[in-house]
Amino acid sequence: MNTLTSFGLAAFMAASAAFAAQAAETAYSGTFCGHTKTTMLQANSDATVFQFESWNIQTPDSGFKPWENASNHCIAYYRITQGKATAIGSCLWTDSDGDTFIGELSQAPDRANVWTFLAGTGKWKGITGGGTWQRVAAGKNGADGSGAGCISHSCISHSGKYTLP
């Protein structure tokens, strides 16, 4: 094999390895909490239907550095019938560099709560993957439908995997 061919093969292999390393799956986890505003449409024994909007921050002690102190803004629709919740919504995350990603949350009776990445900007452009989430603390809303902080309203724990191109 001549030197030019060897060099070309080595360059191709290095580029392929770099691409494969970039596209590797990355595990994430963390906890976020913040302020929530709930708008009730109906609440009775047959059906409770409401929407919520929340503004949150990933806690710095979550241990996942890329999202440390990242903020998110979520909007979702909830329905509770026969004591079981169904929900669909989206959250837009902004990291400390100003790059963003958006995803969809869902909750269905007798299944794990799911998160799916939809799109991103900057370093998150092309993000795919997802995971699960669960509420780890919740308090009663105020009369105006608002709640705030990890202790007085809600804290969400989440984990999963993502891949970047």
Q: Is the pLDDT of residue 8 over 60?
A: no
Provide the CB-side half-sphere exposure for 125 (13 A, CA): 3
Query: Does some domain include residue 56?
Result: yes
Helix (H, G, I), strand (E, B) or coil at 152: helix
Query: Does some domain include residue 151?
Result: yes
- Find out whether 70 and 93 touch, Cβ atoms under 8 Å: yes
Reported as a pLDDT band with limits 50, 70 and 90, residue 109 is very high
Q: How far is CA 90 from CA 74, 107, 153, in A?
A: 6, 12, 19
Q: Is the pLDDT of residue 31 over 50?
A: yes
Query: Does some domain include residue 148?
Result: yes
- What's the domain count of the chain? 1
Q: Are strands 154-163 and 48-58 parallel, antiparallel or unpaired?
A: unpaired
Position 9 scores a pLDDT of 35
- Find out whether 28 and 67 touch, Cβ atoms under 8 Å: yes
Reported as a pLDDT band with limits 50, 70 and 90, residue 140 is low
Query: Does some domain include residue 110?
Result: yes
Which one has a higher pLDDT value, 132 or 147? 132
Full domain range(s) for residue 159: 26-163
Dihedral pair phi/psi, residue 122, rounded to 5°: 55, -130
Using CA atoms of 148, 149, 151, 152 in order, give the dihedral in degrees to the nearest 10: -10
Position 20 scores a pLDDT of 40
Mean pLDDT of 42-56: 92
Query: Does some domain include residue 154?
Result: yes
Mean pLDDT of 132-155: 60
Highest mean pLDDT among 3-12, 23-32, 81-90: 81-90
Query: Does some domain include residue 49?
Result: yes
Query: Does some domain include residue 100?
Result: yes
Query: Does some domain include residue 113?
Result: yes
Helix (H, G, I), strand (E, B) or coil at 151: helix
Q: Which of 58, 57, 59, 38 is nearest to 49 (CA)?
A: 38
Q: How far is CA 115 from CA 127, 130, 161, in A?
A: 13, 5, 10
Reported as a pLDDT band with limits 50, 70 and 90, residue 142 is low
Evaluate if pTM is beyond 0.85: no
CATH of the domain at 126: 2.40.350.10
